[in-house]
Structures are given as structure tokens and as C-alpha cells.
Chain A
Amino acid sequence: MTPSATETSGIRIQQLHKSYGSLEVLSGLNLTLAPGHIYGLVGPNGAGKTTLMSTICNHTFHSGGTILIDGEDPAENAAVLQRTCFIHEDQPYNDAFSVASILKVMPNFYPDWDEALAQRLVSRFRVPVERRARKLSRGQKSAFAIVISLASRAAYTFLDEPYLGLDPTAREIFYEELLTDFGTHPRTVVMSTHLIDEAADLMEEVVVLHEGEIVLQADVDAARSSAFVARGLADEVRAFALDREILSERSLGRILSATIRGQVTADDEDKAAANRISIEPVSLQDLIAALGIHTLTSALTTENR
């Protein structure tokens, strides 16, 4: 690894605004990302996830506020920007370039580029190197973005829905390669995802974006222990939750499952057992949906009915 001149101190964002014409996408967002952590960036479509990553990496200009990467403003700052890597989910590749020709110039952009890793990933994901990048299938585009992101060894790597179109085997390869490489070359990884429960184990912290603002940033375990599900007869569950905040409810006949804010106390357990109520943990995805934030989840549930 090339020793970088600047100490890696993380990303600090304050009062970040971004508008496209009259449409305000980011509205005074504050966020701090520590070095060497894997973050999950979640939120409904249109929440501003891609815009946020794009703005941090200076692919688009912000309309207000400050971004500091290792204490420096990344705007027009090549030394800082080469420490970031962000491949858009729908990266518009030039029609003339093949996968191989794009890979060949990558070391010019990323001083820590690892060619051997790039070659291994290309062959594991079976990315057709002779094909023009523009002509790749959805899954191949995602795999190619992963190849560039991991091989860049950029101190700040942003992955925009990296699994789109990837089959389960390719997703497994991605998770394995990410964690293996992270082990030898720790860096900050920010991954936007809708597959919250599948990716939850990979994340150290989850950042929830909603209408251009951060509404939750928490350690995954801490987030999951901030609520629980009580399931039993509707009246008994309601009585049990009388002085608690119910985040969401689902009923099945006479049975009610309520997601309740707070931690489970020993007293709760006794009370639940006495009233035929079972207490279950909440999944990260359910919690985020329960917070009224993850509209995608409810859309999917409706579709499945």
C-alpha cells in the first residue's frame, strides 16, 4: 500500500444542500463517517442516496454546506478525489471503450490500484473483458463496478446498489471478496442497499436517509435492540403495550403483532408470559419499515399479496 501524505481522518458533512432546479434533494444534511468502517446507506427510492454519494465524490456540485474528506474540501481537489471511488449504478460508459481498455487506464486514477485483484475479480465474476462496457448486461455492469471499486483500494469506497442484477452466487462472491480485501486493506465502505436484511450482517453501522435528511445512524446491533415485536391476542398485546410506543401493527385474525419501541425488560418477559404474549426480535428491515421510513418494503409486501 502506498503511504498517503494525509492522515485518514474520515468524512465530515455539515448542512449539505443539493437542489436540481427547484427540486431539493438534500436539505441540510449532517453526517460523519469514520475511517475503516463499513456503512449501509438505506432509504426509499428518491431519498437522495445516489445524490449524497455523488456529491461527496464531487461528481455533482453541492448547492450549500461543507464536505470535508480527511479535513479537506474535495471540490476540484485531485489529491483528495483519488482517495474516493464511486461508480454510479447506471454509469454512462463511452461507447468506444471495452472493459479491458477501461481497466487499463484505472491505475492513472487510483494510485493504490491492485491489478492482480482486478484480474482475479474479473475472472471470478466472468466479466467479458472484450465487450464494450456499455453493452454489458445489468448483472455484468454491477460486477464490473465491484471490480473497479474493490481494486481501486480507495480509502473511501462508495457502492451504489452493488448487487443489482447479480445472481445469488455472484452476490456471495462479492460479500466474500469485500470482506477478504477489507481485512487486509481496511477502508471506509459506504454501500447503498435495499436488501437490508441480507446486507445487515456486513454493516457496522446503518445510515437511514429519508427525504434528504439522515433520520437514523446507529450500530446495527444497537438499532435492532431499540425495538421488539410482541405477538398475542390483540387485547392482551394492547394492554401489554399500554404505556409504550407502538411503531407498527400487523394482525392475523385475533392475533396482533406489534413492533414496540424500547428494550425488553425482565418485567416485560414475566408480563408477556403471563398473558400468552411471545416476544420476538425485530429485523433491521422491519424496524426501518416500522419507523415509517422504508416505503419500498410496504410496496413489496403489497405486491406479494
Chain B
Amino acid sequence: MAFSDDRPIFLELADAIAADVLAGLYPEESQVPSTTELATHYRINPATAGKALNRLVDAGIVYKKRGLGMFVAAGAPEALRRERRSELHTHYIAPLLTEARRLGLTTADVVDLITKDQS
């Protein structure tokens, strides 16, 4: 993963770990990398890596086992899936319709394209 300049790194890193949880790369109750492992791997400041993990703790996606490290919370993949579904409109559908309008296409045209894609 390369970081873009668009957003603070800790947000991008938190999203990347969440995406890995959602994809099942880190199953429920499995350990996620430590602050130092993340910092060394991505060549980032350990405090930045720590901020990313804390964000996931606050969101209930990972939790801390004292002295052992960070683990994926039970039900985290399902919670992430629910969250992503509710964001499908803002992140994908709204920009798609904006672009379609710019190209002179109506919503019905877009629906047609999607239906055609599926058949």
C-alpha cells in the first residue's frame, strides 16, 4: 500500500486495516500487527501507526488485550459490512451520477448500463 497525499496517513492506514478485516485477512479474534510492526513495514512514525489502531479501537473493530496486543473484535466484519453498505451511496452512487450528468446521461441511462452489465 502506498499512501496518497489526500488524507492523513493514520486515517488511510486505519481504513486499510479495516478493509483487511472485512476481506477476512484478519479473522475475528485474530491478532493485528503491533504499532512497531506497522511503523516499520510502512516506514511511518510509530505515533501515526498508534493513532490508526486507536481509531479502530474507538470504532469497536479491534480491542486491546493488555500485554498481548490488538485483536479483531467479534462481529467486526459484519459491522464493517453494514457500515460500508450505508456508505455505498455517498462513495459510489452519488459520484457515478455526478459523472453521468457531466456526460449528458440520465439516471435511466445509468440504470440501463448497470442492467446490461449484469445480463
Contact = CB atoms under 8 A, between A and B. Distances in A.
B partners with A: yes
Interface of A: 37-38, 172, 175-176, 179-180, 182-184, 186, 201-204, 220-221, 224-225, 281, 283
A201 B9 contact: yes
B9 A202 contact: no
B40 A281 contact: no
Contacts of B48: 201, 204, 221
A179 B39 contact: yes
A283 B3 CA distance: 12
A272 to B, nearest CB: 14
Interface size class of B (residues with CB under 8 A): 10 to 19
Interface of B: 3, 5-10, 34-36, 39-40, 42-48
B47 A204 contact: yes
A230 to B, nearest CB: 15
A255 to B, nearest CB: 19
B3 A183 contact: no
B6 A281 contact: yes
Contacts of B10: 221
A172 B42 CA distance: 11
Given A201-B9, A225-B8, A175 B43 contact: yes
Contacts of B36: 179-180, 182-184
Given A225-B8, A281-B5, A183 B40 contact: yes
Given A176-B40, A179-B36, A202 B45 contact: yes
Given A201-B45, A204-B47, A180 B9 contact: no
Nearest to B44: A201
5 contacts: A179-B46, A182-B46, A183-B34, A203-B45, A221-B10
A113 to B, nearest CB: 22
Given A202-B45, A203-B45, A204-B48, A179 B40 contact: yes
Nearest to A197: B5
Chain A to chain B: the 3 pairs with minimum beta-carbon distance, closest first: A183-B36, A221-B8, A201-B44
Contacts of B40: 176, 179-180, 183
A284 to B, nearest CB: 9
A76 to B, nearest CB: 34
Which residue, of B10, B34, B36, B45, has the highest number of chain A Cβ atoms within 10 A? B45
Nearest to A186: B46
A63 B40 CA distance: 40
A179 B45 CA distance: 8
A201 B8 contact: no
Contacts of A225: 8
Contacts of A221: 8-10, 48
